[in-house]
Amino acid sequence: MAKLTIDGIEVEVQDGINVIEAAKAADVHVPHFCYHPSLSIVGQCRMCLVEVEGMPKLQAGCATPVKDGMKIHVWNEKVDKARKGQMEFLLINHPLDCPICDKAGECPLQDYSFNYGSVESRYGEVKRTYPGMDRTPIGPHVVQNMNRCIHCTRCIRFAAEITGTGELAFFKRGASTEVGVFAGTPLDNWMSACVTDVCPTGALTTREFRFESRVWNLDSAASVCNGCDVGCNIFIGYRQGQVFRYRPRVNPDVNDHWLCDYGRFSYERYDTDRVVVPKVRTDDDYLGISTWNEALDAIDGAIRKGGRIGVIASAQQTNEEAAALKKLFGDQLGAQIGVMVDSIGPIKMKSRTEWILGTQAAPNFRGVEAAIGQTGLSVLHLMEQGAGGVDVLYICDADFSERTKDPRWWPTCGRRSSSSSSRGTPTTRSTTSPTSSSPAPSWRRRKGPSPTCREPSRRSTRPTRRRDRR
């Protein structure tokens, strides 16, 4: 361990880490653009300059390891002057796009410009621009605006060091240097949208979120991605019950700073009309809107009439929900409960130290399976062979499998309730009594278990985008 002083604050940190990370122990922020804790160090933005006593010149905080006895000044007149000079160079050619830029509100360049930028520019020449590169799709999810780029190389290093696909590189030289993709090689890896997270400006944005909402109008909730069983940590951006985006939440042991495209855009599955009122199917096979009392009476009647009750649980349920389901149906009603999950991918995710594989299309299959125990109901057998011998079938999640979207298997399960097509909708399907459906509460994120499979492999699926946005 090394004991050092940062802006008059004595801290003890791990010997050999850089100044930026050491300053966090003293709750001191060192401004930076090119540095990223999960990428290699290049030291080219020069915003992280600090003064180290005993060294004649300012040092790059990202590339300077700390050692015992160091005295470091992050904020003083000399450092402040250097940062203001660097910001002046960066802003010489940067366009004033903040009013229309999707990065506005969470842009480091915007924040540092407020702290270190000058109201007036001394630059009187024509700004450097990149004609035709202000809204260029460089992949299925990423749109580039080269005029906003500050050449920090974060995106280039991500594609080279994390995904290993290397689609991005510097082209040309000097003032004409630009970031782009190689000819015939679009940015189409399984974590391509992560470049928009590491980009410190609005040079790279996602098509799906482009011009959808200002970030300060969104509420944010910490959650866990329910796209697969890896359990990536995320932030959900939402407003008035509508989900607008997923962003990665740092967890070094699971997904570090990253999020795969499959999980990032899986929120689009909720852009559908949901069942908001209960419906009951009558004896003449008419599915009509009912009151809550009528729907609950229909469910109660179906359960009381039926002899054998089957329940299909959902791998999207939490452990607590699965335990409550087991207590109600298994222990009190003697029902048989089953759960299934679709196989996917595998989807590869990079933690800080290793690769993790996601092989199941739901986050908590193992947790739900452990909670309900062995009850004898095979969901796969029921889907393939039919619901013979089951008088009442209660389905917790109408979309518990991709096969539920295939109408060919529904007739085997008895009478179909066509209204219950939204995820999370509790449904009863009975071969002897009317069928009812009722709306579920607002969707809640399901927390998944820790991953168990850690082998590198490449993803083979991607969710469909709502539409292409230019």
Per domain, the residue ranges of the chain are: 2-75, 128-270, 279-437
Which residues on adjacent β-strands are paired with residue 238?
219, 243
Return the pLDDT at 411: 55
- Into which CATH architecture does domain 2-75 fall? Roll (3.10)
Helix pair angle (77-92, 108-116), 10° resolution? 120
Mean pLDDT over the full length of the chain = 84
State percent of the chain over pLDDT 90. Answer: 64
Beta-carbon contacts of 2 under 8 Å, excluding residues fewer than 6 positions away, are 12, 13, 14, 15, 16, 22, 66, 67, 68, 69, 70
pLDDT of residue 382 exceeding 90, the answer is no
pLDDT of residue 435 exceeding 50, the answer is no
pLDDT of residue 418 exceeding 90, the answer is no
pLDDT in tens, 351-369: 999 999 999 999 999 999 9
* Rounded alpha-carbon distances, angstroms, from residue 408 to 183, 342, 384, 402: 44, 18, 10, 12
Average confidence (pLDDT) over 218-236: 95
Return the pLDDT at 410: 59
The CATH number given to 128-270 is 3.30.70.20
Return the pLDDT at 385: 75
pLDDT of residue 311 exceeding 50, the answer is yes
pLDDT of residue 469 exceeding 60, the answer is no
Return the pLDDT at 448: 35
| Residue 409: band (very low, low, confident or very high) from pLDDT cuts 50, 70, 90 | low
* Alpha carbon distance 62, 44 (integer Å): 10
pLDDT of residue 120 exceeding 90, the answer is no
Return the pLDDT at 428: 42
pLDDT of residue 131 exceeding 50, the answer is yes
* Alpha carbon distance 327, 189 (integer Å): 44
Return the pLDDT at 323: 95
Average confidence (pLDDT) over 192-203: 96
pLDDT of residue 463 exceeding 80, the answer is no
pLDDT in tens, 446-457: 333 333 333 333
| Stated pTM of the model | 0.81
Average confidence (pLDDT) over 119-139: 89
pLDDT of residue 429 exceeding 70, the answer is no
* Alpha carbon distance 152, 204 (integer Å): 12
